[in-house]
A = this chain, B = another copy of it.
């Protein structure tokens, strides 16, 4: 008897008939001699609908009662899923966050899991029950309902898999796994069978869908194996797991892109210490994350500072930057939404020189101008003009020979 934790995302529970389909899938797993613990999201659109209502009656409040409201989304789907399983003659039982309990800190709307008591669920599993747990929610030490923020459902599933000592955790969404490149723009792309936590964190943070970074980081810390699979097919998914020796043989695992960033360039900044710091402190104080940063010091101590922020933060970031730039008498500030970040990711890069230069040459050969560059130990990212996105992905997929390589 093995134990699996399955997590179904919003797209899997959007309609009542889909919920019945998922119920059958879960029963199949159960009948394959698995103890099954299921974590469910709210249906697609429901959380946004609840947030809109909250903003109408009390704009900007994300406190105790906000979480009471938002947590109804998962409460609805766990109940319907458990009832669907019951109607098929199997024994299912719902657990809300406070009933597990999933204990969190008190940061409403973005709480973190502190610990989970697995005893109630383990007791029910022994009796043959299929446990259906509301993801994304928990309870703090004062007995208040909390929610974990975006991606919290994935974190709930991974954390449960950890404390229940599950064989692995299956994350179901509408993508079939992790691909060497987005199959929509790159026909040659193939599904990756196995990938390390670190690579997956880079994939997810550079734009790949299917799983949230917080959940991968949690899984890495607690060594929980994850399968990313589609709830609409029976295809094998991608296993996200601890790095093994075979993985380093693959120099580049995949190409990802992210169109959600925008660029701000501060041109002609007089060379006075602390200008860059002033800008980035102001952005951080306003909860604006900065991704890539490049600073060029030109002639006579005049420099340019260029960085990227999320497109949704662009207007606010531009205003903050502009007022500091004016203050230090910089020449001008340029905002540009028309960019895309394209990245190559791979554990093997650590031991292979020349990967970055191979990337830059391939792009140059295809007349794609590189505007910014950032690197990590296992990733190289470039910002390019947005219209070259698809071309760049295909070029890099080919030059690193990713077609047919499924690890």
Contacts and interface: CB of A to CB of B under 8 A. Distances in A.
Contact of A68 (B56, B57, B58, B94): B94
Contact of A16 (B57, B72, B75): B57
A83 B69 contact: yes
A227 interface: no
A54 interface: yes
A298 interface: no
B19 A64 contact: no
Contacts of A366: none
B87 A64 contact: no
A119 B69 CA distance: 24
A82 B94 contact: no
B53 A16 contact: yes
Given A57-B16, A65-B92, A75-B75, A143 B83 contact: no
Interface string A361-379: 0000000000000000000
A84 B71 CA distance: 18
Q: How large is the interface on A (under 10, 10 to 19, 20 to 34, 35 or more residues)?
A: 35 or more
Contacts of A64: 93-94
B99 A82 contact: no
B76 A80 contact: no
A131 to B, nearest CB: 12
Interface string A65-90: 11011011001101110111011000
B87 A65 contact: no
A96 interface: yes
Interface in A136-182: 143, 145
Contact of A58 (B50, B69, B87): B87
A404 interface: no
Contacts of A50: 76
A83 to B, nearest CB: 4
Contacts of A79: 54, 65-66, 68-69, 72
A63 interface: yes
A20 interface: yes
Nearest to A67: B79
A61 interface: yes
A98 interface: yes
B83 A57 contact: yes
A266 B65 CA distance: 57
A273 interface: no
Interface string A43-64: 0000000100110111101011
B84 A57 contact: yes
A54 B66 CA distance: 26
A59 B80 contact: no
A304 B69 CA distance: 57
B94 A65 contact: yes
Nearest to A99: B143
Contacts of A72: 72, 75-76, 79
A212 to B, nearest CB: 25
A61 B86 contact: yes
Interface string A81-122: 011101100001110101100000000000000000000000
Given A16-B53, A54-B83, A69-B75, 17 more contacts: A16-B57, A50-B76, A57-B83, A58-B83, A58-B84, A59-B87, A61-B87, A64-B93, A65-B82, A65-B83, A65-B92, A65-B93, A66-B83, A68-B75, A68-B94, A69-B79, A72-B75
21 contacts: A20-B57, A50-B76, A53-B80, A54-B80, A54-B83, A57-B83, A57-B87, A58-B87, A59-B87, A61-B83, A65-B78, A65-B86, A65-B93, A66-B79, A68-B96, A69-B75, A71-B75, A72-B76, A96-B145, A98-B98, A99-B143
Which 8 pairs from chain A and chain B are nearest by CB? A69-B79, A58-B87, A58-B83, A68-B79, A65-B82, A57-B84, A72-B72, A65-B79
